[in-house]
Amino acid sequence: ILGFSTPPGRLSMMAFILNALTCALGLLYFIRRGKQCLDFTVTVHFFHLLGCWIYNSHFPSTLTWWLVQIVCTALMAAIGEYLCMRIELREIPLNSAPKSNV
């Protein structure tokens, strides 16, 4: 069903792209470490590959499916790592003023 020539194919590819974006937000809230984003992204997509393999009873062999998965993996890892790095690199507030007014 994946393909550029039919509207259902384009809709399916857009769903994969939007899923990668929402999963990048999931990396931000659940992982919170930039170094681990690629590991978790590849793990999620590996389990997706296994699920597709079991569901269809044969290994995915279409070029468009593999291209969409590679693009979604790269997009999810890059955006997730960018968001996590923004959180990690925030300034740590240091208050040097005394806490009591004596």
pLDDT attached to residue 101: 63
pLDDT at 98: 64
Q: What pLDDT, on the 0 to 100 scale, is given for residue 99?
A: 66
| Contacts of residue 83, Cβ cutoff 8 Å, sequence gap at least 6 | 24, 25, 27, 28
24-59 pLDDT per residue, tens: 999 989 988 888 999 999 999 999 999 999 999 999
61 by DSSP, 3-state: which?
A: coil
Domain ranges of the chain: 34-88
CB 101 within 8 A of CB 45: no
Query: What does the alpha-carbon distance between residue 15 and residue 53 come to, in Å, rounded to a whole number?
Result: 20
**Two tokens at 86?**
């923004």
Token representation of residue 43: 């793990």
Q: What is the reported pTM?
A: 0.80
Indicate the SS3 state at residue 72. helix
